[in-house]
Chain A
Amino acid sequence: MVNQENELLLTSPSEKKARFKRKRDKVIAQFIIWTILIVMYIPILVLIAYSFTTADNIGTWTGFSFDLYARLFTSKTGNEIMVALGNTLLLALASSLISVILGTTGAIGAFYSKKRTRTAIESVTQIPVVNAEIVIAMSLTVMFVFVGSYLFGGANVFSFWTLLAGHVILSLPFVYLSVKPKLQQMDPALYEAALDLGCTQRSALFKVVVPEIMPGILSGFLLSITLSLDDFIVTAFTRGSGLLSGEKTIETLSTLVQAKIKKGPIPPEMRALTTFILIAVFLIVLGITIYNNKAAKKNKVRKGRE
C-alpha cells in the first residue's frame, strides 16, 4: 500500500519533470567528463594502437603484428629501453624511499619543534615546491660542478648519487606536506598515552605516531613515485655514469625518449612499452582502490586464547 502511494507521489508531473532534468544533467555531465578524458588519452591510445603494427611512424599501418613486443626484448633499441626502464624504476623507488624516510622524520621532528624552527623549516620546504624545475636542476648541477672542482680537485662528481639527490629534492617537500596534516589531525594525547603505558619516546613514535600518520606517508610515497617517473629536467641535468649497466651516462626513459624524439619519431618499441606501463598503472590503481574499499575485515586471532 505504502509503496504504491509513494509510487504515485513520485510520478506526479512536476516530480517527473524534475527527475527528467536530473537525469539529463547527469548525462550531460558524464558526456563532458568522458569526452575530456578520451581526448586526453588520445596520444597514449594512439601509441598503444600502433604498438600492434611495425611501422616506424604513427599514421602508417603495416598490418597487425606483435612484432614490436618481441623487439622490445630482443632488438638493440629494445635493450636500451629496458635498461632505461630499469634505471627509471630503480631511481623512482630509491628516491621515494629516501624521501619518505627523510620527509616523515622531518615532519615529525618539525611538528614537535618550537614554532620558530618549524616556520623556518616550512619556509624552506616551500621553495622546491614552487620553484621552477629548471632552476632546481641548474642550481644543483652548478653546485655539483662547484663541489667537484673545489673539493675533489676537479673530479666529475656526477653519478647515480647526484641523480638520486636531485630526485629526492623533487619529492621530499611533498612527503613533508603530506605527512604534516596527519600529524596536525592526530590527538596529541595519543603519544602521551603511549608513554603512560610504558613506551619509551622512540617506541611511542613507532607504535602510535607512525601508524596514525600512515595514510599521509603512503600518499607521500605514491606522489614521490609519480614525480620521479614524470621527471625529465632534473634527470637530464644531474645524471652521470650508470650503475646498472656501466654505460657512460645513465639513461632513464625520459632522457632516452627525449634523445630519440629530437631526431625522429618515438621509437616503435616504446609504443609496446607504453602498453605495458598503462596496464601496470591500471593494475596499481585498481589494487589501491580494492585495498581501500576492503575496510580490513580480517579475522582476529588472539595469541593468548585457546
Chain B
Amino acid sequence: MESSNTIISLVNVTKVFEDGATAVDSFNLDIKKGEFVTILGPSGCGKSTTLRMIAGFDIPTSGQILINGEEITNLPPNKRPVNTVFQRYALFPHLDVYDNVAFGLKIKKVPVKTTNKNGEEVVKMRHLSPKEIDQKVAKALAIVDMDEMEDRDVSTLSGGQQQRVAIARALVMDPEVLLLDEPLSALDHKLRLDMQVELKQMHKKLGITFIYVTHDQEEALSMSDKIVVMKRGAIQQVGTPEEIYNEPINAYVADFIGESNIYSGTMSSKLHVRFLGKTWECVDDFALNEKVDIMIRPEDVILGPEGKGVVDGVIDSKVFKGEDYSFIIKVGKAEVLCRDKKNREVGDKVSISVDPENLQIMHKEMMENQWTDCYINDKNQVVIGDDVFEADVTKLLKDGFIDDDGYLTSKAGKRYDLKDAGVIVECSFDDIIISDNLEEGITTGKIVSSVWIGDHYQDIIRTDDDEDFVVNTPYTWMENDVVSININKESLRLTLKKGLDNYAID
C-alpha cells in the first residue's frame, strides 16, 4: 500500500445512507498512478457512490480514502486534487463554453515564493492572471477539439460537444485523478464508440489517472487497464479486461461480462468436472466433489458431427450475426449458446466439446440459503427477518414431538421451551416456491438479480426487511419484479445456536 506507485487507496470504505441502505460495503482498492481503472456494475451496485466518495460529494460512513498516502476521507471536494466529468455534463447554463472551462481557474490559487519584510522566504497563494487563465483554457479546449466554439452558449451545443466541454473543464484544473461518472451514457451509440477511442487516447497523452464508472461492459473491456466489477456494494473481481473476461471469478461476473454459458457441476475426479450429464476435462484443480459453477464462452464451444464430442445436442435456434452464427443447442433440458462460422440448420444434431483450457471453473458463491439471525416464536414457527414461516422443530430432537402445551418433548418425556431460541435456518435454492400471485406466499420480495445457469435461472429475491432468498427457477423473471415467497415446512432445516439443553424445562 505504501508503494509510491499508488495514487488512490480505498481502505474498508463503507457507505450507509440515511435510510439504512448500504451502498458500498468494506471496499478495498489501490489504484496506481496513470492507470485507467473502470468500476463496472449494474445500476445500484454502488459504483457511482464509490466515485462520489473519491470526489468528496459523499462522505464514507467508515473507512479511509487516501490520495498519495494522505488521508482525504473528510476533505471537502474543493480541496481534493481530483476533478469529475459528470454523467449529464453539469455545464453551467448561465456561462458560455469559455467561461465554463475558465470557471475553476478563476477560483484556483497557486503558490508563489516571495520574500517578506524580514527577508524570509514565504509561500503565498495568488490567483491566476487573466492571461494564464486564457492560455490554459485555450489549451484545454484544443485537447477536446472545441477551440472554435468558445463563445457558444452551452445550451446550443450537441450532447457530444457538451461532453467535450465538460472534459475540458475538468482537465484544465490539472487534476491528478480524473473521475468520469458514466460520461458517455447520454450519447448515441456511434458517438459513444468514437468518444471511447478519444478518451483512451487522451488518457495516453495526459498520463494522469482515470477512474471511469460505467454499467456498459463493452466500454469497460475496450478502454480499461483494470476493471473492478461490483455487485451490491462489494467488489467481485479486480483484474485486467482479459482476466475478467477469460477467468471470471464467479457466475455473477461471468454472466455480467459478455455472453456466457454457466452450468452447475461437481468435481468428479482430479482435473475432471461433471456437468450436462458428462465428465469434462479441465485445467483448474478444485477439491474432489466440490459443487462448482462452470463457465464457457460461446466462441469457445466447438461443434462437431454427432457423437464426436463430449456431449450431443440439437440446434434449437440460430441467428446470423454477420461474422458468424449464434446457435442455441439443446442438450437435454439445458441450453448451450455457441458461436460458429459454419452455417447449420435448426434441428441438426451436433456434438459439443470444449478445450479444457476454456472451461472456467468457479467456486459456487453460495451452496444454499442460510439465514443466521432467526428465532423460534411461541407457536414453534421460525421467524426469518420479520416473516414467520412454518417449521418442523421436532427434527431438532430424534423421535421428538410437540406436546399438548406446545413444548418440544423427547421420547423420555423431557420438555423444551423453544420460544425465542436463536436458530440458523437453511434451505436449498430449489425448495423456495415463488409466484407472481402475491397473496400466495408468506412474504413478498423484489427480484434483485437473475442469472441464467445452463438450464435454469438463479434469482435473488430481497424482502422488505432486507433478507435475501436465493431461488432456482425455470421461469424468466425480470429484475424488480415483486414475487411472493413460500417455503414448505419440510424444506427448512434448523440448527439451534445454543445446545438444546439450554431450553429444557423441568
Contacts and interface: CB of A to CB of B under 8 A. Distances in A.
Tell whether any CB of A sits under 8 Å from a CB of B in the complex. Answer: yes
Contact of A200 (B78, B88, B134): B78
Contacts of A80: none
A236 interface: no
B96 A304 contact: no
A194 B99 CA distance: 13
A187 B88 contact: yes
Nearest to A193: B90
Contacts of B104: 196-198
Contacts of A304: 129-135
A208 B100 CA distance: 11
A303 interface: yes
Contacts of B169: 193, 197
Contacts of B131: 304
Interface in B440-494: none
A201 interface: yes
B78 A192 contact: no
- B87, B90, B129: most-surrounded residue (chain A CB, <10 A): B90
Interface in B55-103: 55-57, 76-78, 82-84, 86-88, 90-94, 96, 98, 103
Contacts of A305: 134
Contact of A189 (B56, B88, B103, B134): B88
Interface string A183-224: 000010110111111111101000110011010000000000
Nearest to A302: B134
Q: How large, as a class, is the contact surface on chain B?
A: 20 to 34
Q: How large, as a class, is the contact surface on chain A?
A: 20 to 34
Nearest to A299: B151
A175 to B, nearest CB: 20
A98 to B, nearest CB: 25
A212 B94 contact: yes
A199 B133 contact: no
B140 to A, nearest CB: 12
Given A189-B90, A201-B76, A195 B135 contact: no
Contact of B108 (A192, A198, A200, A211): A198
A300 interface: yes
Interface in B21-56: 55-56
Given A303-B130, A304-B135, A203 B151 contact: no
B78 A198 contact: yes
Interface in A286-306: 300, 302-305
A266 B429 CA distance: 89
B173 interface: yes
A303 B102 CA distance: 11
A207 to B, nearest CB: 8
B107 A190 contact: no
A203 B108 CA distance: 13
A195 B90 contact: no
Contact of A199 (B78, B83, B87, B98): B78
Contacts of B134: 302-305
Q: Say what secondary structure dominates the interface of chain A.
A: helix
Given A189-B86, A304-B131, A198 B55 contact: no
B103 A195 contact: no
A197 B168 CA distance: 12
A186 to B, nearest CB: 9
A305 B129 CA distance: 11
A190 B130 contact: no
Contacts of B93: 212
B165 to A, nearest CB: 12
Contacts of A200: 76, 78
Interface string B133-153: 111000000000000000100
A191 to B, nearest CB: 9
Interface in A110-127: none
A211 B94 contact: yes
A195 B94 contact: no
B76 A192 contact: no
Given A208-B92, A304-B130, A305-B134, A198 B173 contact: yes
A158 B413 CA distance: 88
Interface in A78-99: none
Contacts of B92: 190, 193-194, 208, 211-212
A197 B173 contact: yes
Contacts of B83: 196-197
Contacts of A195: 56-57, 76-78
B136 to A, nearest CB: 9
Contacts of B57: 192, 195-196
Given A304-B132, A304-B135, A196 B84 contact: yes
A193 to B, nearest CB: 4
Interface in B294-309: none
Given A212-B93, A304-B130, A189 B77 contact: no
Contact of B90 (A192, A198, A303): A192
A194 B151 CA distance: 20
Contact of A197 (B88, B107, B129): B107
Given A198-B104, A300-B96, A304-B133, A193 B78 contact: no
A205 to B, nearest CB: 13
Nearest to B77: A195
- B86, B129, B133: most-surrounded residue (chain A CB, <10 A): B86
A302 B56 CA distance: 32
A195 B90 CA distance: 12
B358 to A, nearest CB: 44
B209 to A, nearest CB: 16
A300 B151 CA distance: 8
Q: Which 10 A-B pairs give the minimum distances between C-beta atoms? A: A304-B134, A197-B104, A304-B130, A303-B130, A189-B90, A195-B77, A198-B107, A193-B90, A211-B94, A304-B131
30 contacts: A187-B90, A189-B86, A189-B87, A189-B90, A193-B92, A195-B56, A195-B76, A196-B57, A196-B78, A196-B82, A196-B104, A197-B107, A197-B169, A197-B170, A197-B173, A198-B104, A198-B107, A200-B78, A201-B76, A203-B107, A211-B92, A211-B94, A212-B92, A212-B93, A212-B94, A300-B96, A302-B134, A304-B133, A304-B135, A305-B134
Given A190-B90, A198-B173, 7 more contacts: A189-B87, A193-B92, A194-B92, A197-B107, A197-B169, A200-B76, A305-B134
Interface of A: 187, 189-190, 192-201, 203, 207-208, 211-212, 214, 300, 302-305
